[in-house]
């Protein structure tokens, strides 16, 4: 995986362009291009460009912004591990209580502040698909957003280019996820329902369809 500075330098040298000439093609300052190539002059660390600058630079590099983001590792080509720090980007300066309240108001799904905090801090590194789906809908990004490293600028880019999409067509006879999520969580957390959960697991392992069980038990 290459850094943005390495890609720029390789392209610039292949085109036999000076820093100033390459910068003019990108409509940015030559000092900015130099800092991208060499790193922050004070710390030596790589500079994270804004989406605006990526949109200026990517055409000169001969690729789309999305392809450029993949090249420099901001977007992974294959889904990998859930990247917990993304939840901090979403939460911003809000408290865990406030962000969870906003999530419930917007999606109808309730997430406990302690659960959000545990995932954000990496205590729980494998949140449930339901949790991820609720967050994706809340932020309006594709679920893949949570499986890569992001920045606030990339969050805005993801909202624009990869908005949330509900999985599969919605049937009017089936409640939408946020409508039933709270009831499911209550059911699962009730110890008296353990035998039903064990039975459901056994039926699933035997690949017995829920519809078949429903038809047999509730045949009218």
Write the pLDDT tens digit of every residue in 53-62: 888 898 899 8
Tell whether 29 is covered by a domain: yes
**Collapsed DSSP state (helix, strand, coil) of residue 200:** helix
Looking at the 3D structure of the chain, how many domains does it have?
Answer: 3
Q: Which of 83, 84, 132 is nearest to 111 (CA)?
A: 132
| Same-domain check for residues 90 and 144 | yes
The answer to whether residue 180 is domain-embedded is no
Top pLDDT among 200 and 76 is at: 200
* Same domain assignment for residues 64 and 100: no
For residue 168, pLDDT over 70 is answered with no
**149 lies in a domain?**
yes
Domain closes at, from 15, 36, 71: 71
Using CA atoms, how far residue 90 sits from 16, 68, 153, 155, in Å, is: 42, 23, 11, 8
Give the residue from 142, 134, 145, 212 showing the smallest Cα distance to 176. Answer: 134
Answer with the one of 71, 103, 118 that is the final residue of a domain: 71
User: Would you say residue 19 lies in a domain?
Assistant: yes
Q: Provide the residue range defining the domain that includes 142.
A: 86-161
Q: How confident is the model at residue 170 (pLDDT cuts 50, 70, 90)?
A: very low
Distance CA 109, CA 43 (A): 43
**In this model, does residue 208 exceed pLDDT 50?**
yes
Q: What is the pTM of this model?
A: 0.46
Would you say residue 199 lies in a domain?
A: yes
Residues 58 and 93 grouped into a single domain: no
Q: Is there a domain that residue 103 lies in?
A: yes
Residue where a domain stops, chosen among 161, 176, 205: 161
């Amino acid at each position: 995986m290459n850094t943005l500075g390495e890609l720029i330098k390789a392209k610039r040298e292949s085109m036999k362009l000076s820093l100033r000439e390459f910068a003019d093609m990108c409509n940015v300052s030559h000092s900015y291009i130099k800092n991208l190539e060499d790193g922050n002059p004070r710390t030596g660390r790589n500079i994270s460009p804004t989406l605006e600058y990526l949109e200026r630079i990517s055409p000169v590099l001969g690729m789309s912004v999305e392809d450029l983001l993949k090249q420099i590792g901001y977007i992974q080509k294959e889904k990998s591990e859930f990247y917990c720090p993304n939840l901090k980007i979403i939460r911003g300066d809000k408290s865990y209580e406030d962000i969870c309240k906003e999530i419930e108001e917007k999606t109808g799904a309730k997430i406990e502040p302690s659960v959000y905090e545990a995932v954000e801090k990496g205590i729980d590194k494998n949140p449930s698909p339901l949790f991820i789906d609720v967050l994706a809908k809340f932020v309006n990004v594709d679920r893949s957003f949570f499986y890569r490293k992001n920045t606030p600028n990339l969050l805005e880019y993801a909202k624009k280019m990869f908005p949330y999409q509900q999985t599969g067509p919605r049937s009017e006879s089936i409640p939408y996820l946020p409508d039933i999520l709270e009831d499911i969580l209550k059911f699962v957390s009730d110890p008296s329902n353990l035998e039903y959960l064990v039975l459901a697991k056994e039926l699933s392992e035997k690949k017995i369809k829920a519809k078949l069980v429903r038809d047999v038990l509730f045949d009218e």
